[in-house]
Copies of this chain bind each other. A is one copy, B any other.
Amino acid sequence: MRNLTEQNLTDAVIAKFANSTDPRFKQIMTSLVRHLHDFVREVELTEAEWFEGIKFLTATGQKCDDERQEFILLSDTLGISMLVDAINHRMPSGATESTVLGPFYRAGAPEIEMGGTIAQTDDGDPAYVSGRVTSPDGKPVPGALLDIWQTAPNGLYETQDQDQPDYNLRGQLHTDKDGRYAFRTVIPVSYPVPTDGPVGRMLKAMGRHPMRPAHIHFVITAPGYERLATHLFAEGDKYLDSDAVFGVKNSLVVKFEQNTSQDMAKKLGFKKAPFYTTHFDFGLKPAA
């Protein structure tokens, strides 16, 4: 293993994994090294470009902290997250399509009552979201846990914004015996992914906008079913066809309908009309 060349270096590196005791790790690293080497050969990467890459990856790691995950953002904006999602969630008919988890999930959101609100302030257009969680054949899934999060009307998640209350617009909710769920929130807005880090610089250099169409995040779990990470997107959003992270699926786009009934507003817990409603039934895929 001396005098390695452009031609035989890749095989020499892969031969070094021969002693790996984990066959899956060996398979993954072999494929990764082959593709990364092919990339370097294909573009004939210069030393200056290699060093820009090193600096970019270093800055991406160093931008991460408890509330910021720049490598997930990089994966999202290069379509890798959606590709992993597509490969891992080949959905049967009747199951809801999945989409990116994104970098803003936060565990420990407060549990709300059926019909309760995740909005801790009066900002934004009030919305009522309801529906059922079912198996692919339409049977209700009682006791499913919905973990829900979204940005405020200013386009920021509470972890990005010191002016929002802790856990604002995050909540957890269980379905009832008929698989039903309902909660109050505000209509989501489109917003830019964070652009003050390496990924923002990359998007700018690519001539790409950083916007995501308005959406509400859901992670739904229930015993006997696969975890579902998905969004509901707001119909009419101008970024539905150019999502910076490639996550939009038509089956996940919902319409928020205006309702002007003051009686209904009070009954649902809103201060006044108008408010907006949408309805969506989630289908879970049975666990393998």
| B-contacting residues, A215-238, CB 8 Å | none
Is A162 in the interface zone, CB < 8 Å from B? no
User: Measured between alpha carbons, how far is A288 from B45 in the docked complex, in Å?
Assistant: 17
Cβ contact within 8 Å between B1 and A207: no
Cβ contact within 8 Å between A22 and B84: no
User: Measured between alpha carbons, how far is A129 from B13 in the docked complex, in Å?
Assistant: 32
Cβ contact within 8 Å between B6 and A41: no
Cβ contact within 8 Å between B84 and A72: no
Is A248 in the interface zone, CB < 8 Å from B? yes
Stretch at the interface among A28-36, A115-123, A270-278: A28-36
User: Measured between alpha carbons, how far is A38 from B4 in the docked complex, in Å?
Assistant: 26
Cβ contact within 8 Å between A246 and B9: yes
Is A264 in the interface zone, CB < 8 Å from B? no
User: Measured between alpha carbons, how far is A264 from B83 in the docked complex, in Å?
Assistant: 68
User: Measured between alpha carbons, how far is A36 from B4 in the docked complex, in Å?
Assistant: 24
User: Measured between alpha carbons, how far is A242 from B207 in the docked complex, in Å?
Assistant: 44
In the assembled complex, the CB of A84 is this many whole angstroms from the nearest CB of chain B, namely: 5
User: Measured between alpha carbons, how far is A9 from B10 in the docked complex, in Å?
Assistant: 28
Cβ contact within 8 Å between B241 and A16: no
Residue of B whose beta carbon sits closest to that of A47: B88
User: Measured between alpha carbons, how far is A75 from B83 in the docked complex, in Å?
Assistant: 25
> Looking at the complex, which one of B16, B206, B207 makes contact with A208 (CB distance below 8 Å)?
B16
Residues of B with C-beta under 8 A to A208: 16-17, 19
Is A250 in the interface zone, CB < 8 Å from B? yes
Residues of B with C-beta under 8 A to A87: 6, 40-41, 44-45
Residues of B with C-beta under 8 A to A109: none
A interface list, Cβ under 8 A from B: 1-6, 9-10, 12-13, 16-22, 25-29, 31-33, 35-47, 49-50, 54, 57-62, 64, 69, 71-72, 75, 78-88, 205-208, 240-243, 246, 248-250
Q: Which are the 9 A-B pairs with shortest beta-carbon distances?
A: A61-B61, A19-B207, A13-B79, A35-B35, A35-B39, A2-B248, A6-B86, A50-B84, A20-B207
Given contacts A3-B248, A4-B246, 14 further A-B contacts (CB under 8 A): A1-B241, A9-B82, A16-B208, A19-B207, A27-B43, A32-B39, A35-B38, A36-B80, A47-B84, A50-B75, A54-B71, A58-B61, A61-B61, A61-B71
